[in-house]
Amino acid sequence: MMTSAKPMQQSQPAGNADPRWSAIATRRRLDRVSSPDAALRVAIVKSSLGCILVARSAKGVCAILLGDRPALLECDLRQRFADVRLLGSDADTESLAAQVARVIENPRLSLDLPLDVRGTAFQQRVWRALRAIPAGSTASYAEVAQRIGAPRSVRAVAQACAANPLAVLIPCHRVVRHDGALSGYRWGIERKRALLALESGQ
């Protein structure tokens, strides 16, 4: 088990309640994937943003999670994928994790990985729109809602961003408030700020 990097804030800032987070909590079971016969390979590497957990199925990468402690990342993975066997790492999974870490440090690098993206039809639409936002750019929740043809679904777009299982590859960190201010990020607002700074070359 690897030691954690410098701690970063991972939870929603206190005193600045965001209704999206309470909605996520009440819908947590809906985000879980139950597949007793499935198995995932898991690797954890370190980066400037802390630890990165990469999980892959036989189909492709199904989770990229960010955090300070490997044990907490594994708990997050188990919450998302109920009853799935974790087989530990192998050379291929470690290689995938290293590629993700390199892209975090240099967002201009291209990364074309096999993916196993699991979500509702609406979430999939939102996530495809997020992947179309280029590095160095941002979009508001309302703009994303417009782009998927659901202009009145701004809150649902925010919830889909928060349910994103593939940090960085599905760049929900590029979605901001209508005034350009940073909003909640599942893996911590400081990580969101750091990712955007890396992508803008700051």
62 near 116, Cβ under 8 Å? yes
Output the pLDDT for position 202. Answer: 62
Instruction: Name the residue ranges covered by the structural domains of the chain.
Output: 121-199
Q: Please report which confidence band the pLDDT of residue 83 belongs to, taking 50, 70 and 90 as the band edges.
A: confident
Residues 6+ apart with CB under 8 A from 37: none
Q: Please report which confidence band the pLDDT of residue 82 belongs to, taking 50, 70 and 90 as the band edges.
A: confident
Output the pLDDT for position 65. Answer: 97
CA 185 – CA 42 distance, rounded (Å)? 23
- Give me the CATH code for the 121-199 domain, please: 1.10.10.10
**Percent of the chain beyond pLDDT 90?**
68
Which of the residues are catalytic?
Answer: 172
Ramachandran angles phi, psi of 140, nearest 5°: -85, 165
CA 147 – CA 193 distance, rounded (Å)? 24
